[in-house]
Structure 1
Amino acid sequence: MPAQADRWTVDFSCALHNRTGKFFIGRDLIADQTDLIDTVQYWRVPLRQPPAGITAKVIGRLMAIEHKMRLRLPSALKAASTQRTPILHTDPFSVLHRGAAPCDVVICHDVGPLTHTDLFAPQVTELYRRVYELIAASGCRVAFVSEASRAAFAAMFGTSSHHVLIYPPLRSEVARPAASAVPQVSGPFLLTVGSLGRRKNQALSIGAFARSGLAARGFSYVLTGSREPGWEQVLAAAEQTPGVVLLDYVTDEALAWLYGNAAGFVLASRLEGFGIPVAEAIAAGLVPAVTANSVLTEVAGEGALAIDPDNADSIAEAMQHLAMMGEEERTRRAVLLSQSVRRFTRDRFRAAWRALLQPAGAIAHTPVSGAPARPNNQHEWA
């Protein structure tokens, strides 16, 4: 282990191209632990704020070139020196350019590139296979954002006492009172929040909404999120289905309004690291219908409706259930759901990370270099 006086270097390279749950976890962690952090770097560039625009693109391109080189030259992929400053990797892929040492900590959001190879390009699967092998061989500490992710990693690489579970917190931004309604939305509606594409399975959910008959009863189905691979199919399905409202980015205030006015929340995702939108929906008082036997049921608990993500009829039945649910059942489920999301507080998140990063000796406060400010008012969700 490094000397106790050492502070952490945080590799926040995922912020170069990511404003999903990974970004919010890294942002909150850095803000909470400033006195333990020496510098925040993006690839190899220390900056006071996450880069944007052309700067982010240039840094990201240089990082991609180095990663490609290292993957082509196996000899370049080796354990990092244990004599350097400990590194906190906010995403596993940064071990490609920094290496991994026993003194490091890596945040693992999911192992989807290995467990759901059909959702990723072959080069992405290969990249993460090498990354996870490096992490497992290094003996570094790994912080998982869900028990599901920890179990999936253990099934492939074995268990370790250095593996810990730290749940992310709910974002405070969406808890603020909403300024105004979303103009495109009127009447009762069901809601899905998350990046639009194959992974979140929205095209099948839209087909399920058509089967449910809810549009004829005056319901609409609102989906909001950024675009990821497979978004074209989601867009095509939305354009062909009456009652579907497809939104791009929305402000935090608009998102809060959507959570506060929906009749229910639906997420039949095929892969999640944690599922922040589900927790946010529950905190806003919604009953969710989520993928059975997944991290989403880990997050939501017993109060959620469980659905088969490969079965449109299962999703349609859950949508009907949410739309027509009586107040007695809704109240009963809300009690169970609220108990579940109490685990995801900022105080618990802060304390768990403090325990993991804090050395035995006291560390004097030093302002952090590169702590990220909150991005603009438009977001994606993991």
Structure 2
Amino acid sequence: MIAMWDVDFSLALRNRTGKYFIGRDIIRDNADRIASVRYGRFRRAPGSELRAPDGLRRSLIERGSDAEIALRQRLPSGVAGLRARRPVLHLDPYTVRLYRTGPRDLVLCHDMGPLTHRELFDDRVCRLYDEAYRQIAETKPGMVFVSRASRDAYVELFGPLPRMEVIYPPLRPELAAAAPAPVEEVRAPFLLTVGSIGRRKNQAAAIRAFAASGLAQRGYRYVLCGAREPGADEVARLAAATEGVVLLSYVSDAQLSWLYRNAAGFVLVSLLEGFGVPVAEAIAAGLVPLVARDSVLEEVAGDGAFSADPLDEAEIARMMRQLVELEPEPRAARQAALARSIARFTPTAFRDNWSAALAPAMAGIDA
């Protein structure tokens, strides 16, 4: 088969969250269609694509790419950008600023947060993504979104593109295969939140809601785990000062599997999500989640989830109590509905959909 795509995986230099795993799986599943993987102006040869540069080389590539993008902020879209012989798959929209993009290229969008929720991001990040999306609107590459919510947000801001599709991320098979390993700091019963710790995920409001719920006095704990991002310091201070709250650092897949299997319920009332993989993971482990109302998390979970206004801490507290007090029969009905919803997120569906997205015809090449 013809190797017809170059892939820009620059996000791997600074990101090890869900974005990284999605990009990694796309490259692994479609290796026969990928000619090279780029990290800024650094290119990996076929067969070594997923070994991102590290150490000094990584630092130099990051700084060089940042400087080049900063320069392009003063230039019209695409001027003097990298010109690739093959179509380029961008695994994050910001890298389009390094290239001369066109209709043969393809851009993966994880969320529209820097434009729809500017208050949650640094001004420089908002400007960068604003310029990237304007370049996309002007040069019209194809776009793949991880949710309908992100696609609709793009269309509302910039209008439709000739090629737009939604491909949901898969549940990670590594997590399903991991043998559960207990977390020493945690004792049941507990509610669980998984996701980057910071303002965007709204854990501070969830902690205050847990305190107001009275569940700590009934013996419940509230366990949170995830990487740190802006706003994590406030969450850490609240966690330390609130009875029953356990804020974990990094946990392994084995420990995460144990947490999912032993929690009394799952809570994620984010202000912004691109998709919300932890909600799907929790459902797969048999948990009923409490999610942010009118968000992509409802798109992921479906009708079986509880929901609350993420800005209403009293409602979050009330729904936390309902979550732990759920009787067996209605719990089973919700679990059945939730299981049907996440049947969309299989590795097979992800692999097949991306294979179709990267087919020769989509790259403008005769098969």
Q: TM-score range by the shorter chain?
A: over 0.9
State the partner residue of 1:376: none
Give the aligned length. Answer: 359
State the partner residue of 1:61: 63
Instruction: Report the alpha carbon displacement of residue 81 of structure 1 after superposing the two structures with TM.
Output: 8.3
Q: Distance in 1 between matches of 2:289 and 2:197?
A: 18
Q: Distance in 1 between matches of 2:341 and 2:268?
A: 17
Q: Distance in 1 between matches of 2:286 and 2:79?
A: 48
Instruction: Report the alpha carbon displacement of residue 7 of structure 1 after superposing the two structures with TM.
Output: 1.1
Q: Distance in 1 between matches of 2:159 and 2:76?
A: 24
State the partner residue of 1:204: 205
1:262-277 alignment, distance < 5 Å:
262-277=263-278
Instruction: Report the alpha carbon displacement of residue 335 of structure 1 after superposing the two structures with TM.
Output: 0.4
1:218-257 alignment, distance < 5 Å:
218-257=219-258
Q: Indicate if the aligned counterparts of 1:81 and 1:101 stay in contact, CA closer than 8 A.
A: no
Q: Indicate if the aligned counterparts of 1:302 and 1:337 stay in contact, CA closer than 8 A.
A: yes
TM-score using structure 1 length:
0.91
State the partner residue of 2:314: 313
Q: Distance in 2 between matches of 1:59 and 1:261?
A: 43
State the partner residue of 1:178: 179
State the partner residue of 1:84: 85
Q: Distance in 2 between matches of 1:90 and 1:79?
A: 21
Q: Distance in 1 between matches of 2:317 and 2:248?
A: 21
Q: Distance in 1 between matches of 2:95 and 2:24?
A: 16
State the partner residue of 2:143: 142
Q: Distance in 1 between matches of 2:194 and 2:116?
A: 23
Q: Distance in 1 between matches of 2:69 and 2:290?
A: 39
State the partner residue of 1:374: none
Does 1:106 find its partner at 2:110? no
State the partner residue of 1:115: 116
Q: Distance in 2 between matches of 1:301 and 1:330?
A: 14
Q: Distance in 1 between matches of 2:232 and 2:127?
A: 23
Which stretch has the larger CA shift, 42-51 or 286-295?
42-51
SS of structure 1 residue aligned to 2:7: strand
Q: Indicate if the aligned counterparts of 1:79 and 1:100 stay in contact, CA closer than 8 A.
A: no
State the partner residue of 1:8: 5
Instruction: Report the alpha carbon displacement of residue 60 of structure 1 after superposing the two structures with TM.
Output: 1.2
Q: Distance in 1 between matches of 2:100 and 2:366?
A: 27
Q: Indicate if the aligned counterparts of 2:221 and 2:244 stay in contact, CA closer than 8 A.
A: yes
SS of structure 1 residue aligned to 2:107: strand
State the partner residue of 1:301: 302
State the partner residue of 1:21: 18
Q: Indicate if the aligned counterparts of 2:40 and 2:65 stay in contact, CA closer than 8 A.
A: yes
State the partner residue of 1:367: none
Output the aligned Cα RMSD: 1.7
Describe the superposition over 1:104-148 as per-residue Cα deviations: whole angstroms up to 9, x where unpaired.
000011111111010011111111111000011111100000000
Does 1:42 find its partner at 2:39? yes
Partner AA of 1:114 in structure 2: L
Q: Distance in 2 between matches of 1:195 and 1:83?
A: 34
Instruction: Report the alpha carbon displacement of residue 79 of structure 1 after superposing the two structures with TM.
Output: 8.8
Q: Which blocks of at least 5 consecutive residues in structure 1 are unaligned?
A: 364-382
Describe the superposition over 1:330-367 as per-residue Cα deviations: whole angstroms up to 9, x where unpaired.
1000000000000011111111111111114787xxxx
State the partner residue of 1:151: 152
Q: Distance in 2 between matches of 1:176 and 1:189?
A: 23
Partner AA of 1:68 in structure 2: A
Partner AA of 1:214 in structure 2: L
Partner AA of 1:109 in structure 2: H
SS of structure 1 residue aligned to 2:338: helix
Partner AA of 1:305 in structure 2: F
Partner AA of 1:12 in structure 2: F
Q: Distance in 2 between matches of 1:54 and 1:266?
A: 40
1:296-375 alignment, distance < 5 Å:
296-360=297-361
Q: Distance in 1 between matches of 2:142 and 2:165?
A: 8
TM-score using structure 2 length:
0.94
1:66-77 alignment, distance < 5 Å:
66-71=68-73, 73-75=74-76, 77=78
Instruction: Report the alpha carbon displacement of residue 83 of structure 1 after superposing the two structures with TM.
Output: 7.3
Which stretch has the larger CA shift, 42-51 or 17-26?
42-51
Change (3 A) 1:268 1:323: same
Partner AA of 2:141 in structure 1: C
Q: Distance in 2 between matches of 1:6 and 1:330?
A: 49
Partner AA of 1:56 in structure 2: R
Partner AA of 2:95 in structure 1: S
Partner AA of 2:71 in structure 1: M
Q: Which blocks of at least 5 consecutive residues in structure 2 are unaligned?
A: none
Describe the superposition over 1:151-207 as per-residue Cα deviations: whole angstroms up to 9, x where unpaired.
000001112330111111111111124342000101200000001000000011000
